[in-house]
Structure formats: structure tokens, C-alpha cells
Chains A and B, each alone.
Chain A
Amino acid sequence: MDILLSSLSQGLIWSIMAIGVYLTFRILDIADMTAEGAFPLGAAFAASLIANHANPWLATLVGMFGGMLAGLISGLLYTRLKIPALLTGILTLTGLYSINLRIMGKANITLLGQQTVFSAFDQFSSNTQVIIVGSLIVVVIMVLLVLFFNTEMGLAARAVGDNPDMSAANGVHVANMQIVIYMISNGLIALAGALMAQSNGYADISMGVGTIVIALAAIIIGEVLVHNLSFGKRLITIIVGAVVYRLIIAFVLWLGVDPNDLRLFYAVLLTVLLALPLAQKLVRQGQRRRLNKQHIAELVRNSQEDKK
């Protein structure tokens, strides 16, 4: 039971991060590495402010804005300097490492005994607190995103992801829309980082490693579970995907896998998930070929019988 609750709580926080990655990955068709720097950036801002007795909500918000700023930088590098998307992310992420260290002042900040956004419900267990607050935040994010993507600007942003040439020909400011998506995406990822630090009780300089891999796995699990969905429903499957992914990891740890080997497991699992569509295709192709062989054999047999 405890494992289920903790998986749900961690999964909820991961789902915010996965939704952020989804925006760049599926709408702009970019695997944006900025995520790996934005996640600890949010954590760094939130943890150092909270350690200095700031209001935890304010600290979380500052973390999120920090992520949006990181997104702005990546977006500008990508659209204005025309640096390839993958390199853009790596540049920002590398720079952010130093900035995160500056913000934290050291490699690790503990939040033991501090007020966090989860403290408001301290009559419950710590997992339940995270689930309550996390669910509220996730719902607010989903509503805001669905509203945004149904505005004129949101429609233009989706069109840019689909077909930049057509969007420009219809008067959409393509670069601006891409930057907007970059900012929302990394804002959400940093928000998840800020929440994760408060939930874990510490911020660590290396907590961003694996962000992209975890988020992509959550997205793809969601997509494998249900194909072709509208945007709002897709967000729900991502949340489910993040929780399922967290459960898988809890299971793997329960089997006795060394936590130090966990990142290898992340990578292997994502590889499997990414290869899944190809595997499905090959299996289906094999079935069709077998059926076809039987069909041809039957034709040949029939024609031979006719001859007799």
C-alpha cells in the first residue's frame, strides 16, 4: 500500500514534467534537452528560497519562472541563431549546471523541518499530502493548457508544430510560437523540479539527470495504452503513463535491483518502448506473410486438382 501511494505521489510530480516534455516533443517535434537543466533549476530556486524561510508557494512559482527563462534562452538559440535543437538543449543544460550551483551555493540543500507547499495538509501522511497537492496542481495545469491550446494563439502554436511553412504563409509568427512552447514546456519541467525537491526533502545538483528519459517513457507508455487522442485526453494518458512508469520502477527496486543501476534501467526501458512500434509492425507483417503463404499454397493445390 505504501509503495502504491509513494508511486502515485512521485508519478504525479513526474507527470507535470512529462507534460512539459510532451509539448516540445510532440507539438514542436523536438527532444529538448533543456529539460535536464530546467528540472534542477526549479528545484534549486525553490529549495534555496525555502531554506531561507520564503513562502513555499512563492518559491515554487519562482522556480517555475526560472524554467520559463531557461526555455526562453533555448528558444532564442533555436529560432534566432538557428542552432540545431539538440545542441541548443545541450548548451542551455551545460550553462544551467553552473547557474544551479550558484543558486544553491552547494551541491545539496536539505529541506528537513521546513514549510513546503505540501505542509498545508499535515494532518495526513507525507505521501497523501503530495497526492492531494499534486493532483490539484495537475488539474490546474491541464485546464490551463487545454484553454491555451484552444485560443487563437494556441491554435497558431499547434499549426506551427504541424507545418511551419503553412503557418508562415498564413501570417503566423513561427519563431515566436516556438519560443512560447519552449517557455511553457520548461516552466512546467522546472515546476516539477521545485515540487520534487519539496517532496523528497532536498535539492541536489544532479537530480536532473534522466529527466528526458523518464518523461519520454511516461509519454510513450501513455501513447501505447491509448492511440490517437485529443489533446486533453492525451494529457490524462501521460499522467497515467507517469504513474505506471513509477510503479514499474518501484517493482524493479522491490526485486532487489541496486538503485545505482536504475538509470541503466531507465535507458533500457525507454529503448524497448521506442522500439515497440517497429516490433508490432514486424509481428503483423510476419502474420500477414504466413497467411499469404497458406493462401498461395491453397491456390496452387486447387489449380493442380483442376488439372487432374
Chain B
Amino acid sequence: MSEAVLTIRDLHQYFERGTINETHALQGINLTVTEGEFVTIIGGNGAGKSTLLNSIAGTLPVDTGQVVLEGKDITYDSVTTRARWIARVFQDPKMGTAQRLSVAENMALALKRGEHHSLFRIGTPRSSRPRFKEALKRLNLGLEERLDTEIGLLSGGQRQAITLLMATLQKPELLLLDEHTAALDPKTSATVLQLTQQLVQEEDLTALMITHNMQDAIKYGNRLWMLDHGRIVVDVAGDEKKHLTVPDLLELFNKASQEQMTDDELLLSSDN
């Protein structure tokens, strides 16, 4: 049996709690992700996908519940502390890189993810450049010749590909991808998704990937969650996931959300 990388117990998140605008964004998430799993996550706007990822990454403090990574309780650890184990690619290509720093400098920072930043070591040592070039070559974008280019001058697709590479320079225990291709044109998006698949397989990574595209959710990864109203309503893996089609998925979703609705009705009626 492979080991649990991520365990979440009874996670709840509220926005504007105690006001008239209160939103119960996550309503008791329980999940376990084991080593080597590549989970794709779909769900409508406001389903809680990003809230879930933000809770895992630490950008959103947990209201109630517990987040455990490789046996360590990280519920109350900061983003900076969690960076030792978790790498992340954001939706906005601008978010994942420091735009006035060069490609090499960005990569050097990522290579040191979660480590101490010493005053007595060179930030971007010459010795690391061959490694960066090697890694960039895999993208087939000709970026290996542009190590000293300010990263802000590159296109969104190029930056996103580099961010992905940066996230894996130092192997993370968990890789979080928050709609990382949503801001790209269809062709670039496909390239970056291919690269994602390739990196996850080659480096044997455990990853969670949010996407808006059902096709992509089915095509990539080996497990799929569908979120609705702050709950995981569909969870398929293995062969079932492999043979999934979009109509199957819609059916699963309708079934699940209907069940949930009846649950709510029961609750309401028992209240009365």
C-alpha cells in the first residue's frame, strides 16, 4: 500500500462569518491523497476548489479542521513554512515569478524553496546554470538561451512553463496547480498541460490540479474530484477514472447533487 501524503479532516472554511453575507465555502472536507496520485479537481464557480487549495497551501487560515502532510500536522503553519514541502503554480502567470528578476534568478530562488537564505552564499551561483539550462531545454521553447532575460519580458505561456519547472526543481511532497492554464490560449494551455503530465510522471509527484475543463480533468491525472457547494461530491480513481466520459461525469454530478439536495430537504424538514 502506498503512503498517505495528504490527509484532511473535517475542514470547514467560512467567509465573512457572523455577518449577513456569510458563506460556508468548505463544508466538512475529508480526504486522503496517497503517494503518486495526480488528482484533477473540477466544480463550478464558488464550489470551493480554490478555497481548498488555499487552505492546503496556507494562504487561507483554517477555520476548523485539520491538514496533515506526510504525518505532520501543518494546520497552523505559515505559507513560508509549508513551502518546504509544498510547491504551487498560480492561475495568473504573473503570480508565479518575480518579474524584474532574470529567469536564472527566479529558478535559483525556486531551487532553494523552503531553505534558509544565507547572507554568505551567492544567490545565483554559476555552477547552477548548466542545471537550469538542462531543465529549460525540456520545454522546447528556446528559453535555455535566455537565462539572463528579465522574466517579465516573456509571454504568459513561457512564464507559466517556467513556473511549473521551478515548482519541481526541488521535488515537492505535494504540487498544487490552481487553474494554471486558465489564462493561456488553447494551444499554449495544451502544451503546459502536457508538460505538467510529463513532469508529474517523470518526477513521480503527488499533485492536485484545479481545472475548468472537464475534458482535461478526464484526460489528465489518475483520480478526479468534483466539488459542489463546499463538498467533494464525486471521487473516482483507477479504471473507473480511465474510462470516464464527459456525459458520465455529468450524470455522476447530477446524481450526487440531487442526493445532496434531498439531504438538505431532510435537514430542513426535520428542523420544522
Contact = CB atoms under 8 A, between A and B. Distances in A.
A169 B79 contact: yes
Contacts of B59: 165
A171 B98 contact: no
B46 interface: no
B100 interface: yes
Interface in B38-97: 57, 59, 78-81, 83-84, 87-88, 90, 94-97
Contacts of B114: 170-171
A165 B95 contact: yes
For B95, B105, B114, B117, the residue with the greatest tally of chain A CB atoms inside 10 Å of its CB is B117
B197 to A, nearest CB: 22
Contacts of B118: 151-153
B67 to A, nearest CB: 16
Contacts of A200: none
A162 B83 contact: no
B105 A172 contact: no
Given A152-B121, A152-B122, A171-B112, A159 B101 contact: yes
A166 B159 CA distance: 13
B195 interface: no
A169 B109 CA distance: 11
Given A150-B123, A150-B124, A158-B101, A172 B117 contact: yes
A154 interface: yes
Nearest to B106: A159
B95 to A, nearest CB: 6
Contact of B83 (A150, A154, A170): A170
A153 B119 contact: yes
A155 B108 contact: yes
B110 A170 contact: yes
A156 interface: yes
Contact of A173 (B80, B88, B100, B124): B80
A166 B122 CA distance: 20
Contacts of A163: 94-95, 97-99
A110 interface: no
A3 interface: no
Q: Which applies to chain B's interface (DSSP): helix, strand, loop or mixed? A: loop
Interface residues of B, number: 37
Contacts of B99: 162-163
Nearest to A170: B113
B83 A168 contact: yes
Contact of A152 (B96, B101, B123): B123
Given A171-B112, A171-B113, A172-B109, A154 B98 contact: no
A173 B113 CA distance: 11
Interface in A137-175: 148-156, 158-159, 162-163, 165-174
A151 B121 contact: yes
B76 to A, nearest CB: 16
Given A168-B79, A171-B80, A162 B121 contact: no
A163 B166 CA distance: 15
Interface of B: 57, 59, 78-81, 83-84, 87-88, 90, 94-101, 105-106, 108-110, 112-115, 117-124, 166
Interface of A: 148-156, 158-159, 162-163, 165-174
11 contacts: A153-B118, A155-B108, A155-B109, A155-B124, A159-B105, A162-B101, A163-B97, A165-B95, A168-B83, A170-B83, A171-B80
Given A158-B101, A170-B113, 11 more contacts: A151-B121, A152-B118, A153-B118, A156-B109, A158-B98, A162-B99, A162-B101, A169-B79, A169-B83, A170-B112, A172-B80
Which 7 A-B pairs have CB atoms at the shortest separation, nearest pair first?
A155-B123, A171-B83, A171-B114, A162-B98, A156-B117, A159-B98, A168-B79
